[in-house]
């Protein structure tokens, strides 16, 4: 058997395996995705799913916890879809080391959660992105048991993505898909400031 024939044979076996797995995946419902870890890409992945959802004409909601004291490229881009399938809320007041006011941070997170909870209870929303919610949970700004309860009671076809470092174990346990981003190298470690289009 020559190289081309071996390649085709391996590809055919792989295709048969993948086709069998696809045929077994018959459940059609909303999924809960959690992106966590110390590496870059958690929010970027959530916004990538937002782009896909809008591309399919789905009604989407975004609530950004923590972030809010500076403008980001994703906000500038996705704001143009507001009122046309997207509700976008930036509810944070900046990173906790910037605000240095726990009560203010709790108040901002509580207000953001109220908006998120409304979306999670409304079957008009097909996809909801809760950006940096994990941080609010880790810091104890929002009760974890309440968040879990609302997520489990959401409409059956609603997709949710939650981002942020340190996802609590109880949240990981109920999620359908969990990805942990790991740092191998980061430009900031070499003294390179955050760049538009990359971090901002």
129 near 51, Cβ under 8 Å?
no
**What pLDDT score was predicted for residue 95?**
60
CA atoms within 13 A on the CB side of 185: 4
Q: Quick: pLDDT tens for 29-88.
A: 999 999 999 999 999 999 999 999 999 999 999 999 986 656 788 988 999 998 889 999
Query: CA-CA distance, 168 to 172, in Å (whole number)?
Result: 6
Mean pLDDT of 123-144: 97
- Dig out the tokens for 75 from the structure: 């906000």
Mean pLDDT of 87-115: 83
Read off the DSSP letter of residue 37. Answer: E
**Please, what are the domains in the chain?**
28-190 (3.40.50.300)
181 near 41, Cβ under 8 Å?
yes
């Amino acid at each position: 058997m020559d190289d081309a024939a071996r390649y085709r044979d391996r590809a055919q076996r792989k295709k048969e395996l993948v086709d069998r797995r696809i045929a077994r995946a018959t459940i059609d419902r909303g999924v809960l995705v959690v992106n966590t870890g110390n590496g870059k890409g958690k929010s970027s992945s959530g916004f990538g799913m937002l782009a896909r959802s809008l591309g399919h004409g789905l009604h989407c909601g975004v609530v950004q916890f923590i972030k809010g004291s500076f403008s980001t490229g994703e906000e500038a881009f996705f704001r143009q879809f507001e009122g046309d399938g997207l509700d976008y809320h930036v509810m944070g007041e900046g990173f906790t080391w910037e605000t240095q006011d726990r009560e203010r941070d709790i108040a901002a997170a509580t207000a953001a959660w109220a908006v998120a909870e409304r979306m999670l209870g409304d079957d008009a929303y097909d996809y909801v992105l809760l950006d940096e919610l994990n941080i609010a949970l880790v810091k104890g700004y929002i009760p974890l048991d309440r968040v879990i309860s609302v997520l489990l009671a959401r409409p059956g076809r609603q997709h949710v993505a939650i981002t942020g470092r340190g996802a609590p174990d109880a949240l990981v346990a109920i999620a359908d898909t969990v990805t942990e981003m790991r740092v191998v190298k980061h430009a900031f470690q070499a003294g390179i400031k955050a760049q538009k289009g990359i971090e901002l």
